[in-house]
Structure 1
Amino acid sequence: MRKPLYNIVIFIFHIITLILLFTLCIHFNVIKLDFLDFSKEAVASFFKNDYVVNIVCTILTVAALYIIQIKYSKHKLKSDFRCNEIIHDVYDGIERTHELIKESKELSNEIEELEKDPNMDFNVYRKEEALKYLAFYKKHKGDFKICNIALTYPNNWILIDSVQTVFFINLNFKLLNIVNNIKNRRPNLEDEYPKIESLFTLYEENGDDKVLIQLGHEIHRFLVDIDFMSKYWFSLLDYLGYDPMPIKLYIELFKKEYPDYENMSEFLKLPVAQQNKISRKVQKKASKIYLKYRIRNFFK
């Protein structure tokens, strides 16, 4: 989830261009720096004013500490084994949810076609709509469960608690907004999925149309909430600067280069020096591939 290489390069070019432009303006006397020619007495008097100096130093110190704390916290969170494991699981859930929502677009189109029929009775429409949602649920029942678990698993809140603990969250309104959105959406999903399961079981037993319509409504709500939840989690991981590609490349290369050690227990039996040598070799190859990928996708 790193920023596109194109944006980074363009930003650097802008800075360099501004510096060169400013230098040329000074060289050709377009801009005169006479107004910056402070007298020694003025500079000395400024630094002799303890009150002003203390305020300036305090502001600069707080700003520096805040920036350093943000950078350091992101690094430590991603380095923490437990948090990193949670991040990896959540990202898998985001990818699965993305695929689920992508496939549900066809369902939405079918329901829109039903809405366009002016002759259809409202009760018939509700039943037909519910049947379509039910068919979609039956087809993706496993995905519903996995997505719900991945994005609402109790251990995920270890990461949320860690974020709240290590960041000055009340001074970071962007992060505060993301965390609050995740917390706000969580109860909905925790309530909706068990309802879907119980209503599905009940409908399978008695085939009641009222239960069917309620089931369709709950499935629709779940799809909306899980979509938003995945976006909120993605925003949080994006804020933390999590990029799954290097890890995935490393794992793929490791399995390809050393199939005998696909079982990690065998790999861990090797001497530490040999483990480090293998890891560095794979990491080096993965880094090269990742760099090539970023260059190929320069404008994306």
Structure 2
Amino acid sequence: MRQFTPSEFTEDNFVDSPPLSIIEKTDGRDLIIVAKNSRGISLLQELSYRNYVRKLREDLYIIDRLSMIDALTKFLWIIRISWKNEETYLLWALINSLLKTSDLESLKSTLFKEFNIELDKCLSKLNMNSTQEYSKLLEPLLSKLEQQLSRIPPVLLQKIIDYLCIHGELTVEELSTRFIREGVSVSTLYKALSRLKKGNYVRVVKHVRISSRGPMRELLASNCNKCLYNYSSHDTCYKSSLNQLSAILYAFYNKSLTPRDLEKLYIEFKSIPYPQRVIKRINDILISLSVIRSRLEDKLTSSILHRIQASTGINIV
């Protein structure tokens, strides 16, 4: 938050040039790829010097500390929350300015010059005392930052939305077959879905009968008109999905997409229904394929699979 400003990461800027993409592999390992953003590259280089991340190749890093995954994930959420929450935007701007200055006058000057915000008005909107001493400003600001972080949806809610965004319309029973493998009980899943429906992040598409004599069941879908990730439209979500595709291709297939490549893909797939959903499904498949490919690099595993293939005639690998 000291290195980056909220004005750098408006929704349009974030979608067009995200600072970084966190890619979770299906085998549980997280990678970070830096987008085409010199500031993001600089950040990860600094984290590498401090041994928080390890460089794999140019602009590609693996996280060595779980605390770093948590911190970067929270930072990406602060960006998204700041798009629609003035308090978060002001808080970030004030923390950024405070960490770059040494006295009250320079703080006022920096805050106004970089963000066109007056300190007194900013403190008033944050419900803070305008007579607060400069040296004692940081502590209450960090306390308010913790309050903003509490706005981040729980991981289970994020995973449910992610799954619905990829697979489309599903019943609770279909969702439970996915999440029960992670130790999520049906009652916990119902509570999470109830919370998502109450917030209007999940909508009931229609009621369906699974069996001829069974009860009617709700068919659920993510509500693209009120996105959990704060995207304002289908189009921005679609662009973000393409950026993630670009990151995945670079991370696992060493293929770089140029802005022109992304623009061509954007135009080519825009006419299909819910293109963001299709691209997210492709992203999920590409990550899974990369994990399978890495496992096949084990000589013993590959040798046994080839023997099974020779014995059965099934084309496995």
- TM-score where L is the length of structure 1: 0.21
Which structure's residues are more often strand, by fraction?
A: 2
Higher helix proportion: 1
User: Whose radius of gyration is greater, 1 or 2?
Assistant: 1
